[in-house]
Structure 1
Amino acid sequence: MVRAGGFDGPTRRLQASIQGTVIAREAPDYELWRQSMIWQYRKFRRYPDLIVQAESEDDVVAAINFARDNGMKITTRSGGHSWSGCFLRDSGVLVDLSRLQNIEVDTSRNVARVGAGVLGRGLNEELARHGLAFPTAHCGMVPVSGYLLGGGLGWNSTAWGGMSVFNVVGIEAVTVEGEKIFASQNKNPDLFWAARGGGPGLFFTVTAFHLQCHPLPASIITDSYFFHYAELDEVVALMEEVGPGINPNVEMLTVVVPTIPELAKQCEGSECDRVVVLAATAFGESEADSKAMLAPIASHRAASKSLKVIKARPTPFEVLYQDNEGPFPQRRARADNIYTNRASDTVPVISKYMKQSPSDGNTPVILWRGDLSFPDAAYSSTGQFYLAGYAQWNLAENDQPNQQWLRNFYDEMQEFASGHYINEFDRETRSAQTSACFAPANWAKLGRLRERYDPDGVYHDFLRL
């Protein structure tokens, strides 16, 4: 066993054998490196023995072989955009894939080979040069790897695969034995099955994805409706009534945010500090096509109750990224979620907890998903609506009240849950409930595959606190 934190002989040999960087626990700059692995300001008190920042797939092979041969566990990280910091574990080796940034586009098949460290923004910028697009995460700074491995709930994903991971047609990976493999529906199908939704519980390291891309829509426009907070139930009813008939190329999302002075002046009564925003984005073949897709929302009776409307705003991917990154600055943060078929029933719970919110950054989001079915894969959660809660605050002294607020909020939401999205599941306070992010049979199969392909448990399992 390599001495924890010791930059001893084996560790020096690892550094000499790779192009990347090895940071040992006792290195003077270890804590700077460790904290830089995490995107938000909660820095999680978990400390790997080594951080290996890989520059190539060969570096990944060397790091995995080193960990296995020295009795150390492995976790991997592509960009650190995990609400619970699940890649940070005590002891073992953290393999950082963020430098694997290559993008290659095969325009004859509209397939892109994408390194694990590529950000969503960078991917769609490159694809646009070829007239293509991909359903990346809503924030452009989110890397593709962890996002896809957990399922990928992203832009226009309802129309483009249902979940983004179902656009993955192949992966390049390194097994626990240090073997480079390719997996697809027809080659290493067990590993391909696990990679499409197994998320932070995988037992191999994905270094690149082969992605089926889509023609870049000629017109991406957004209609935004601003409502008094008291109209939340009407807005959710609109989504329930319009959703089943809406074109799948429309993404319909409602968010509760602090109001702005312009709208506060129009508000009468209580609860004027928050506003409900319904944003509907159409991914169309022309502006006329996009406008036609959005028309059912505009004609619904609830739309007439809005305080303000912004119609047909051009929102190419970069604008969509900026719009979504603004409400989620780098603060201290947690998240939790449910899928549900009973959105209206959740409104009283949302209202109760928004009144109790200890931070003005605490934000509920309601996303229409529809009735979707998926190919057989590890990913297996469904529901007509996705309801996420994002807790955001500034000071460490406020960690406990915000954590407890989110926990209580989603304790009450469980009654309405049909499933959960693992990428935004509160894996700190709900780690014992991780199986709820999968259909029972899929959870059991994932466990069997782990036992088969990593019998010695070299890879850390799902975070358990």
Structure 2
Amino acid sequence: MSQTLAPTLGEATIQELREAVRGAVFAPGDEGYEDASRVWNGEHDDRSPAIVVQCTGAADVIAAVGFARSNDLSIAVRGGGHSIAGFSSVDDGIVIDLGRMNAVRVDPAARRATVGGGAVWGDVDHETQAYGLATTGGLVSSTGVAGFTLGGGIGWTMRKFGLACDNLVAADVVTADGRLVHTSETENPDLLWALRGGGGNFGIVTQFEFTLHPLPSPVYAGLMFYPAETAPELLRAFRDWSETAPDEITGLVNLTTAPPLPVIPEQWHGKKVAVFVAVSTGPLEEGDTLVAPFRKLGEPIADLLGPMPYTMMQSLLDPLWPKGIHAYFKACNLNGLDDATIERFCTMHLETPGPQCEIHIHQMGGAVGRVPADGTAFSERSMPYVMNAVTGWHEADQDVAQSHADWARAAVAAAGDAATGRAYVNFLSEAGAARSAYGEEKYARLAALKTQYDPTNVFRLNQNIAPE
């Protein structure tokens, strides 16, 4: 990694920024620069920012945006740093890191949470669960609230509580011209509409306000592991069950390889398995009834469904996705799960190039589908499923990276006619997918708002929506 300053930035210029902000400023060669430059996805960990600003509040963000514009620097905004596509860092530009802005304040009477733009879902769950409350959060607790919410927010409680973006009721946003703008249903409502699924195109959110819902802990949740040969039967059962399952439960099927966890019999470690995952927001005593069809599929390898703390479920997958892992995702929305599509997915499951290649089939519907199609910027709500081809590996090897990306693309292609043509933007590793993800009508509305709030495309490191 280069240890020299970008040509346009002299030490005196950088010192001006240091004096303008209360947070830390790191340039190449500074102690702490290497750590400050690190992101979650190892595939994008070779970037060399000219400057990293660890902001402590909205004033720091405003100063950093002004500095970037004055010095013609590309801006990467980092919340939790989990961007699959690598948008959390940039070569020779500025990283505006919100990680220190992670405070969470809960108003239990109003059932509202005010959340800093750099918080991760573990921060939110820790505070809200103290009051027996929750809102839809990430599938890994270290996922940033900002990127997750702005892209939509598919999580374990979405069929009852809606997507994360559906629970966003207000926000403070630093715009491209350095203004701090508040948005809510009554103040700049067009901006709130865009933030609910339109990504980071419209500014830097320094503070979110979310609706909270009663969710006492423990919840009925967990996983059931089956042999790979059960996968077709499991997916057909999942399809049939999803048609009538109540909103209180959200399920997922994961075609994967058994990790070496103590809860899985050792003889199954490293072998292909099919996993049913579910979380219920309903009464604990109803949990067994809700998942009863899946206990009729034969003897599972491990049945881990039962009462558990909600925060445990929210962090259950954390050990499999540590910081520094190399990751590539590819996704599509599905209009259904016919038998032929199921068979193709099951074939792809057996042809993976590595042990952490997975096919996730997320159950949608419920509260997600009841929001009007044009009610938010989120791209599509009528689909019953979202398919995500997930890959992870630990070595920095281009051949390995290529083989994993090729497999993920082939797995999505296997959806065939079941794919709707839309995709969830948070599950996409390639940039340039916004138009196809949102569709022409919604993209046009977003582009008009982009022209209003960011006419020169200052915030372009995202699934970018170009100004008109």
TM-score by length of 1: 0.88
After superposition, residues 284-323 of structure 1 pair within 5 angstroms as 284=282, 286-288=283-285, 290-291=286-287, 294-299=288-293, 303-308=296-301, 310=303, 313-323=306-316
Distance in 1 of aligned mates of 2:210 and 2:72: 35
- Whether the 8 Å contact between 1:377 and 1:442 is mirrored in structure 2 is no
Does 2:38 correspond to 1:23?
A: no
Does 2:338 correspond to 1:337?
A: no
Identify if the C-alpha distance between structure 1 residues 4 and 206 changes in structure 2 by more than 3 Å, giving closer, same or farther: farther
1:63-120: CA deviation from partner (whole Å, max 9, x where unpaired) = 1111223333322111101112113233332211111012122222111111011121
Shift of 1:378: 1.3
Other-structure match for 1:9: 12
SS of the equivalent of 2:320 reads coil
Other-structure match for 1:273: 271
Other-structure match for 1:187: 187
Shift of 1:454: 1.6
- Whether the 8 Å contact between 2:132 and 2:217 is mirrored in structure 1 is no
1:28-61: CA deviation from partner (whole Å, max 9, x where unpaired) = 6544432x2x113323444332211101111011
- Whether the 8 Å contact between 1:225 and 1:306 is mirrored in structure 2 is no
SS of the equivalent of 2:415 reads helix
- Whether the 8 Å contact between 1:338 and 1:414 is mirrored in structure 2 is no
Identify if the C-alpha distance between structure 1 residues 379 and 304 changes in structure 2 by more than 3 Å, giving closer, same or farther: closer
- Whether the 8 Å contact between 1:297 and 1:303 is mirrored in structure 2 is no
| Match 1:413 to one of 415, 418, 424 | 415
SS of the equivalent of 1:83 reads coil
Other-structure match for 1:399: 401
- Whether the 8 Å contact between 2:105 and 2:127 is mirrored in structure 1 is no
After superposition, residues 151-170 of structure 1 pair within 5 angstroms as 151-161=152-162, 163-170=163-170
Count matched residues.
Answer: 447
1:234-289: CA deviation from partner (whole Å, max 9, x where unpaired) = 11111111112111111211112324797687x9xxxx9311121232222x322x
Amino acid paired to 2:311: E
1:174-218: CA deviation from partner (whole Å, max 9, x where unpaired) = 111211111012111222111111114x13110010110011235
Q: Which moved more, 1:99-108 or 1:341-350?
A: 341-350
Distance in 2 of aligned mates of 1:309 and 1:392: 23
Other-structure match for 1:40: 41
- Whether the 8 Å contact between 1:335 and 1:425 is mirrored in structure 2 is yes
Q: Which moved more, 1:343-352 or 1:114-123?
A: 343-352
Other-structure match for 2:350: 355
Distance in 1 of aligned mates of 2:110 and 2:449: 31
Distance in 2 of aligned mates of 1:304 and 1:254: 14
After superposition, residues 246-265 of structure 1 pair within 5 angstroms as 246-259=245-258
- Whether the 8 Å contact between 2:221 and 2:313 is mirrored in structure 1 is no
- Whether the 8 Å contact between 1:5 and 1:25 is mirrored in structure 2 is no
Amino acid paired to 1:426: S
After superposition, residues 120-131 of structure 1 pair within 5 angstroms as 120-131=121-132
Distance in 2 of aligned mates of 1:436 and 1:222: 34
After superposition, residues 422-433 of structure 1 pair within 5 angstroms as 422-427=425-430, 431-433=431-433
Identify if the C-alpha distance between structure 1 residues 155 and 26 changes in structure 2 by more than 3 Å, giving closer, same or farther: same
Distance in 2 of aligned mates of 1:224 and 1:407: 26
Other-structure match for 1:384: 384
SS of the equivalent of 1:396 reads coil
- Whether the 8 Å contact between 2:61 and 2:174 is mirrored in structure 1 is yes
Distance in 2 of aligned mates of 1:224 and 1:77: 32
Other-structure match for 1:245: 244
Does 2:329 correspond to 1:328?
A: no
Distance in 2 of aligned mates of 1:256 and 1:116: 33
Amino acid paired to 1:88: S
| Match 1:373 to one of 367, 370, 373 | 370
Does 2:85 correspond to 1:79?
A: no
- Whether the 8 Å contact between 1:7 and 1:26 is mirrored in structure 2 is no
Distance in 2 of aligned mates of 1:240 and 1:68: 50
Identify unmatched segments of 5+ residues in structure 1.
Answer: none
Amino acid paired to 2:279: T
Other-structure match for 1:457: 457
- Whether the 8 Å contact between 1:135 and 1:154 is mirrored in structure 2 is yes
Other-structure match for 1:210: 209
Shift of 1:225: 3.2
Amino acid paired to 1:411: A
Shift of 1:132: 1.2
Amino acid paired to 1:406: A
SS of the equivalent of 2:251 reads strand
- Whether the 8 Å contact between 1:222 and 1:313 is mirrored in structure 2 is yes
Does 2:220 correspond to 1:228?
A: no
1:338-358: CA deviation from partner (whole Å, max 9, x where unpaired) = 121222343232223223211
Q: Which moved more, 1:320-329 or 1:387-396?
A: 320-329
SS of the equivalent of 1:158 reads helix
After superposition, residues 59-74 of structure 1 pair within 5 angstroms as 59-74=60-75
Identify if the C-alpha distance between structure 1 residues 170 and 355 changes in structure 2 by more than 3 Å, giving closer, same or farther: same
Amino acid paired to 1:102: A
- Whether the 8 Å contact between 1:72 and 1:458 is mirrored in structure 2 is no
Q: Which moved more, 1:138-147 or 1:412-421?
A: 412-421
Distance in 1 of aligned mates of 2:170 and 2:63: 23
Q: Which moved more, 1:188-197 or 1:167-176?
A: 188-197
